[in-house]
Chains A and B, each alone.
Chain A
Amino acid sequence: MDWFENGWGLSLIVFLPVVGALAILAIPKAKESLLKWTALAFSLVTLALAIMLAMQFDYSAADTYQFGTAQDTTWISAINAHFHIAVDGISLPLVVLAAFITVLVIIYSWNHWPEPHNPKLLLAFVLILATGMTGTFVALDLVLFFVFFEVVLLPMYFMIGIWGDRGIREVPVVKWKIEMRLYASLKFFVFTLFGSAFMLLGFLALYFKSEEALGYRSFSMIELSDIGAAGAFTGTFAFLVFAGLFLGFAVKVPMWPLHTWLPDAHTAAPTIGSVILAAILLKLGTYAFIRISIPILPEQAIAWAPFIGILAVIGIIYGSLACLAQTDVKRLIAYSSVGHMGFVMLGIATMTEIGINAAIIGMVAHGLITGLLFFIAGSMAHRYHTRDMGRLGGQMVLMPKMGVLLGFAAMASLGLPSLAGFWGEFMSLMASFTPLEAIEATNLFRGFMVIGAIGTVLTAGYMLYMLRNVNFGEPAEEWADHEFEDVDSYEWLAWAPLVIGTIAIGVFPKIVFGATNDAVVGLVQKAFGG
């Protein structure tokens, strides 16, 4: 299996989906089932390879890059960019998660086609997204990273813009009246592009500056981390670069106050779009903080940590309070992401082994749980043709299975111990008690810990509020005589793995920590010293 270990396996995981997308484009539109099966086949093979990757991964050396292409694989020689991809313990869980979610999304879309139909294009977009997402997680060259990071932008933009919610949105302040999907897709695109521009600037600055330490210009994350840890990037230069990267990544996370694209994008996107957005796309930002910002600019990471921590806890409280005022189920779940990603960022801001471990398990858990929530919210909207909690109610009578699943997902989302969401929340609070000493803001972070704990109470508050209004009580009159189809078999197929994954990681967190712990310890020690 040398070919698998020498980068071919990983390359296949990255590029097989896009090959699938090309194959789909070659199939005539009329052959719908062939289109679906092709997409499913490609995504399944990708998942199988990803699982094979996870099984062959050497967990005792999780802090080393494995299954990679050679570091000097030439790609664009003019700018010294290399095709260097590999996984370590930090990226492995996210690669598997991305492959996993892609399969589930394709299964779900089997009989849930948002208007205007066109499975061919939608499936192609899903597969292109898969390549972009996985690629971002495995890229070890900044140019390559940037390309993958941007590859996800367009398919998602079109997904929201074409298959999104056609309701009219009145935009406050500027008083536009515009179709929800157009407004949301535009906002998503512009926000991300805005961030990416600064990020690219940061990359370029690092590239030019690296010549001083290396003798040549490099985009290699490994080389840059090496010289970064040795103190190559300091002063105003490093500050500005960190600021640029911060903007690029923080928009994607999204961190308060750069989050306002998210509620619109999530609410407007078709179900599978919301799921991919929540489950994977948001993680590109947090992952990049861990993979790029901290190792390459450790000094700046320490300087920025209190600031990131403040934004994170504002996000936690603010997102939760905004949830409490929602009447739209999907929007509530969208805002809940702001709070949950706040916990992830709080963990990262502590710059400790525990905090970053917490962040990664938090990312995986949020992917599974919020993915499930968006699936369910989508299926509910599909049946009720409304997302207004004022009109819903009594779902436990109308669709008991859907109700139970929604209850499960809500409990998982509020961080119920024994389910996956707990670990990220609890451990990031724990890390806040003793953040990295070099930050010299221990008391401030202890304040964050207390605020975060209050956030867990608010999270429980809005989830119970949603369950009360959607699941419980007698059904409203308008639904009383309506026959609803409870969870169908495609939905079960798509959702059961998420439920099982949530329980499995909750009960046995080693599934994630087993891969991440050594890698995170290595990363923290390299960046900040013993």
Chain B
Amino acid sequence: MYRLLTLASQVVLAAGEEGAAEGGHEAEGGHEAIVPGITDGPLVEWAWLIVVVPIIAVFIILFWGKKLPFKGWEVAEGALGFVALYGTVLMYFNATQGIVYEGAIEIARIGDYHLEWGWMVDGLSIMMYFLVGVVGLLVFTYAKGYMKGDVRFTWFFVSFSLFAGGMLVLVAAPNLIQLIVGWELVGVSSYLLIAHYWEDFANVDAGNKAFMVNKVADAGLFLGAIIMAVSVGSFNFADIIDVVVHGEEGMLSQYAFWTGLLIFIGAMGKSAQFPLHVWLPDAMAGPTPVSALMHAATMVTAGVYLLGRLFPFYIDEAGIFGGDVRDIIIVIGGLTLFLTGFIAIVQDDIKKVLAYSTVSQLGYMVAAMGAGAYTAGLFHLFTHAFFKALLFLAAGSVIHAVHSNNMSDMGGLRKKMPITFWTFIAGTLALIGIFPFAGFFSKDEILASMKYSGQHGQDVANFILILGIAGAFITAFYMTRAVALTFFGEYKGHATPHESPKMMAYPLIGLGFFAVTAGWINFPGVYTGFTTWLATRVPLTGMGDHHADGLDWALVLIVTPTVLAGVAIGWWLYGKDKATQAERDTFRIPVLWPLFENLYYIDDFYMNGIVRPTMGPIARIVLWWDMNVIDGIVNVVGAGSLGVAKVVRTVDSNVVDGLYNEIGAGVDGLGSSLRRSFTGRIQQYAAFSFIGVVVIAVLFIIL
């Protein structure tokens, strides 16, 4: 049942030669640097436990959680601890030896297709195991404190474990089917988590919105996956990539544009790309730990991960596959990073600021994928996961203290909550990309790869590069505003703020550590471990990754001053003067501000243009049609035949009549009127049907 993936070494060599021929900028280090050391043995063979343990934890918590001393939290925490530990060990061995392994068990055959559950253990998946495990562990730890006393504490950890488990099913997937399974498990558990406080319909509607927007995108993913699988004759990524790297012309190349676009639509849903980003800010309705995990290590990363998993298809070195889609991807990513950043400026809810910031950062990642920068996009995914989780948890800590999400109820908290303050600052510096914090490296790499792609034939990348630099300014501006309004100025709330308990503070420090250091693992020109770790892939093949060799000093000299300008203007507006801070926040630019505040009217359009008409008039017309037209015909025919049957009654068949009367008589406790109506009508209908059959039979024979 177990299948060990055998690497087609000639593929590796062929791809490696091609990559080398392309020149220095591409595929840095090439594949010669990566020894395809297949670590087979218990470590990778048992890696399926990473997926299965959290799923088992779900059931344990569901059935026995309430009886446990910590109400099921300990099971969830243990499962995530296991994942974090296993992920770290795998990360270590991948860094030192390189791991490329795929295990699978067959779950069915259908036609010529094999359906399998499997587990990928390669650079990309290991990075995700590590990320989900470590961030998840810290968030779960935090959640114990945050959710203390919650009405549905145990249930929360059931959904939360399912959420992490679903994400692990997704990233372990060696085939499209399992990816879809994980994809939707993440979707359904996010629905449960967002609607956690379902007493209030507003939260339920937020959950429904997330589910539905994702379902629309999933329809795209379904179709894309179907076309891709049918074209290749297999659901396995290894087989699909194999066709791609060989540049085989055939069904896949024929439908490449559509399958690439449809799969990207799926990615747009989960990774909240414009205009399918609308669910994400509403997802703030869930408890803050959910926001932290959902918007950092899991769920929103799924789309970027999928683009990474199918990267050879999109980079399309043969020029016959998804290359055309890449221009669409980079434009969507560029629009997302630019447009949603503005919305963050006008939000008062601190979580919404972070939510729109997440959408904007996802735009960077997707744009990077569109620019053909595999490493850069996933590197930003990696660093962002830590500092965004940190920012959310720190925001949660503030919300916990002041009992409000609104920054207009905060202010001056830096002295009262020093740990929260300093970790929030670390997260902010990482997010806006100040050297040497994590975001500096990953954002620089994205911008550098856009520049590279712009110079190498992808004209649109030049434009997106400008949006990217402008986006960095906007990011710096709204984060400075958020810091100023929350931690500086005068306290405007009513509750008595205090530092959060240790259970919540320690995870902040842990994530703060990563927010500072996570960028160093890919310090161009110094140490580029991350690049080589990610390059171990199933199947081991050339990625054609557009990737920079060193820091692009020209870009750094443009971007860093831009960011600092954003900080300075933000500070000048909101931080400088304590007394007038609140007043200054009423600062508005006509036309633009209403546009931002109304979210570009996209939500309104979906609601009034699609959802309400479908649920209202369209559905009602269909039902009316069903009851009055289709069923109307049935009833009119029925009424007519009753009339005919009355004539026929005289020819009544005693056999039928007698049978029904007997059965009718056997029924006790029924009035005779019922019996009459039964036997009467039935025999009429039976007689009519019989005559009908005879008539048709005669016609049939004549014909």
With A173-B635, A353-B111 given, is the CB distance from A472 to B201 under 8 Å?
Answer: yes
A460 close to B (CB within 8 Å): yes
A517: B residues at CB distance < 8 A: 108-111
Minimum CB–CB distance for A507 against chain B, Å? 7
Stretch of B289-297, B465-473, B572-580, B677-685 that contacts chain A? B677-685
Contact between B634 and A260 (Cβ–Cβ < 8 Å)?
A: yes
B220, closest chain A residue (CB): A453
Q: Describe A's contact surface by its main secondary structure.
A: helix
Stretch of B81-89, B179-187, B434-442, B510-518 that contacts chain A? B179-187
B117: A residues at CB distance < 8 A: 507
Contact between A460 and B619 (Cβ–Cβ < 8 Å)?
A: no
A194: B residues at CB distance < 8 A: 689, 692
Contact between A117 and B219 (Cβ–Cβ < 8 Å)?
A: no
B626: A residues at CB distance < 8 A: 260, 318, 322
B93 close to A (CB within 8 Å): no
B250 close to A (CB within 8 Å): no
B332 close to A (CB within 8 Å): no
A321 close to B (CB within 8 Å): yes
Minimum CB–CB distance for B668 against chain A, Å? 6
Give the complex CA separation of A429 and B229 in angstroms: 12
User: Please, how many residues of chain B have a CB less than 8 angstroms from a CB on the other chain?
Assistant: 76
Q: Per a CB cutoff under 8 Å, which of A427, A474, A509 touches B199?
A: A474
Contact between A197 and B215 (Cβ–Cβ < 8 Å)?
A: no
Mask of B676-702 contacts with A, CB within 8 angstroms, 1/0? 011001100110011011001100100
B184: A residues at CB distance < 8 A: 416-418
A240: B residues at CB distance < 8 A: 700, 703
Contact between A173 and B628 (Cβ–Cβ < 8 Å)?
A: yes
Stretch of B204-212, B337-345, B351-359, B410-418 that contacts chain A? B204-212
A450 close to B (CB within 8 Å): yes
Mask of A21-49 contacts with B, CB within 8 angstroms, 1/0? 00000000100000000000000000000
A198: B residues at CB distance < 8 A: 693, 696
Give the complex CA separation of A472 and B111 in angstroms: 42
Give the complex CA separation of A172 and B634 in angstroms: 11
Contact between B208 and A353 (Cβ–Cβ < 8 Å)?
A: no
Contact between B696 and A116 (Cβ–Cβ < 8 Å)?
A: no
Q: Per a CB cutoff under 8 Å, which of B177, B635, B666, B703 touches A171?
A: B635
Give the complex CA separation of A453 and B226 in angstroms: 11
Contact between B614 and A461 (Cβ–Cβ < 8 Å)?
A: yes
A29, closest chain B residue (CB): B668
Contact between B199 and A473 (Cβ–Cβ < 8 Å)?
A: yes
Give the complex CA separation of A318 and B627 in angstroms: 13
B658 close to A (CB within 8 Å): no
B214, closest chain A residue (CB): A460
Contact between A354 and B670 (Cβ–Cβ < 8 Å)?
A: no
Q: Describe B's contact surface by its main secondary structure.
A: helix
Contact between A456 and B222 (Cβ–Cβ < 8 Å)?
A: yes
A257 close to B (CB within 8 Å): yes
Stretch of A95-103, A182-190, A488-496 that contacts chain B? A182-190
Contact between A473 and B188 (Cβ–Cβ < 8 Å)?
A: no
Contact between A426 and B668 (Cβ–Cβ < 8 Å)?
A: no
Mask of A106-142 contacts with B, CB within 8 angstroms, 1/0? 0000000000111001000000000000000000000
Q: Per a CB cutoff under 8 Å, which of B199, B634, B692 touches A187?
A: B634
Minimum CB–CB distance for B612 against chain A, Å? 11
With A116-B669, A473-B198 given, is the CB distance from A450 to B223 under 8 Å?
Answer: yes
Contact between A430 and B229 (Cβ–Cβ < 8 Å)?
A: yes
Q: Per a CB cutoff under 8 Å, which of B110, B632, B667 touches A172?
A: B632
With A417-B181, A429-B226, A449-B223 given, is the CB distance from A457 to B198 under 8 Å?
Answer: no
Contact between B619 and A322 (Cβ–Cβ < 8 Å)?
A: yes
A508 close to B (CB within 8 Å): yes
Give the complex CA separation of A352 and B386 in angstroms: 48
A174 close to B (CB within 8 Å): yes
Contact residues, B292-331 vs A (CB, 8 A): none
Q: Per a CB cutoff under 8 Å, which of B107, B628, B677, B681 touches A508?
A: B107
Give the complex CA separation of A507 and B108 in angstroms: 10
Stretch of A5-13, A226-234, A463-471 that contacts chain B? A463-471
A425, closest chain B residue (CB): B222
Minimum CB–CB distance for B166 against chain A, Å? 9
A523 close to B (CB within 8 Å): no
Contact between B635 and A172 (Cβ–Cβ < 8 Å)?
A: yes
B68 close to A (CB within 8 Å): no
A293 close to B (CB within 8 Å): no
B191, closest chain A residue (CB): A464
Contact between A117 and B669 (Cβ–Cβ < 8 Å)?
A: yes
B584 close to A (CB within 8 Å): no
B526: A residues at CB distance < 8 A: none
Q: Per a CB cutoff under 8 Å, which of A353, A396, A411, A454 touches B188?
A: A411
Q: Pick from B117, B191, B622 the residue with the most CB of A within 10 Å.
A: B622
Mask of B163-178 contacts with A, CB within 8 angstroms, 1/0? 0000001000000010
Give the complex CA separation of A465 and B618 in angstroms: 16
Mask of A189-207 contacts with B, CB within 8 angstroms, 1/0? 1110110011011001100
Q: Pick from B111, B622, B634 the residue with the most CB of A within 10 Å.
A: B111
Give the complex CA separation of A478 and B201 in angstroms: 19
Minimum CB–CB distance for B59 against chain A, Å? 10
Q: Per a CB cutoff under 8 Å, which of A118, A176, A193, A354 touches B110?
A: A354
Q: Pick from B614, B634, B666 the residue with the most CB of A within 10 Å.
A: B634
B589: A residues at CB distance < 8 A: none
Contact between A186 and B630 (Cβ–Cβ < 8 Å)?
A: no
Give the complex CA separation of A121 and B212 in angstroms: 46
B669: A residues at CB distance < 8 A: 116-118
Give the complex CA separation of A193 and B686 in angstroms: 8
A324 close to B (CB within 8 Å): yes
B166, closest chain A residue (CB): A418
Q: Per a CB cutoff under 8 Å, which of A172, A321, A426, A521 touches B622?
A: A321
Contact between A464 and B696 (Cβ–Cβ < 8 Å)?
A: no
With A118-B667, A456-B219 given, is the CB distance from A197 to B689 under 8 Å?
Answer: yes
Contact between A322 and B636 (Cβ–Cβ < 8 Å)?
A: no
Minimum CB–CB distance for A126 against chain B, Å? 15
Minimum CB–CB distance for A472 against chain B, Å? 4
Contact between B208 and A200 (Cβ–Cβ < 8 Å)?
A: no
Contact between A326 and B109 (Cβ–Cβ < 8 Å)?
A: no
Give the complex CA separation of A165 and B597 in angstroms: 52
Minimum CB–CB distance for B66 against chain A, Å? 12
B21 close to A (CB within 8 Å): no
Contact between B619 and A325 (Cβ–Cβ < 8 Å)?
A: yes
Give the complex CA separation of A157 and B678 in angstroms: 10
A434 close to B (CB within 8 Å): yes
Contact between A433 and B230 (Cβ–Cβ < 8 Å)?
A: yes
Minimum CB–CB distance for A441 against chain B, Å? 17
A115, closest chain B residue (CB): B669
Minimum CB–CB distance for B61 against chain A, Å? 13
A124, closest chain B residue (CB): B666
A367 close to B (CB within 8 Å): no
A397: B residues at CB distance < 8 A: 199
Contact between A429 and B195 (Cβ–Cβ < 8 Å)?
A: no
A242 close to B (CB within 8 Å): no
B64: A residues at CB distance < 8 A: none
With A174-B636, A473-B198 given, is the CB distance from A464 to B212 under 8 Å?
Answer: yes
Contact between A513 and B110 (Cβ–Cβ < 8 Å)?
A: yes
B216, closest chain A residue (CB): A457
With A174-B636, A190-B689 given, is the CB distance from A182 to B677 under 8 Å?
Answer: yes
Contact between B627 and A453 (Cβ–Cβ < 8 Å)?
A: no
Contact residues, B103-130 vs A (CB, 8 A): 106-111, 113, 115, 117
A432, closest chain B residue (CB): B226
B115: A residues at CB distance < 8 A: 509, 513
B226: A residues at CB distance < 8 A: 426, 429-430, 433, 449
Q: Per a CB cutoff under 8 Å, which of A200, A427, A454 touches B219?
A: A454
16 contacts between A and B (CB under 8 A): A116-B667, A162-B670, A176-B635, A186-B685, A240-B703, A322-B623, A325-B622, A430-B226, A449-B223, A457-B216, A457-B219, A464-B211, A473-B204, A513-B115, A517-B109, A521-B111
Cβ-closest 6 pairs across A and B: A324-B619, A173-B632, A513-B108, A325-B619, A353-B111, A325-B623
